[in-house]
Amino acid sequence: MNRIVTCINSCVILCTLWASIIYAQIPVFILSWGSQGTADGQFMYPGGVASDADGNVYVVDIGNHRVQKFTSSGEFLLKWGSRGSDDGQFSYPMGVTLDAGGNVYIGDGGNHRI
């Protein structure tokens, strides 16, 4: 039975009971979006990136202290957050992930919280 042990730079290492095999795939550019700034769809130091079950993409915007949500083709959908320490505010958010239920979790570096 094969199982994936790790994936680094598009190289997948499969381990079997008898051998280890490395399959490498060259990364292919698909698309990019955004520019420097504070408007919708712009970033000041984009950080963590995650996607949901529908293919939407969440990007932590560290310098703007917010999270932005996009379609898989880069169309801006919504944003939330501002600089601060109150509920819904961030201070240099760093990471983002989603659980199976679609809940979004943000690593809020400056406020030392999730």
pLDDT category at 111 given cuts 50, 70, 90 is: very high
Cα distance between residue 41 and residue 3, in whole Å: 38
In single-letter form, the type of residue at position 62 comes to: I
What are the structure tokens assigned to 11, written together? 């190289």
Higher-scoring residue by pLDDT: 14, 103: 103
The hierarchical CATH code for the domain 46-108 is 2.40.10.500
pLDDT digits (tens, 9 = 90+) for 5-39: 334 444 444 444 445 555 567 777 888 899 999 99
Cα distance between residue 55 and residue 48, in whole Å: 16
User: Any idea where the domains of the chain sit in the sequence?
Assistant: 1-29, 46-108
Q: Model pTM?
A: 0.78
pLDDT digits (tens, 9 = 90+) for 46-70: 999 999 999 999 999 999 999 999 9
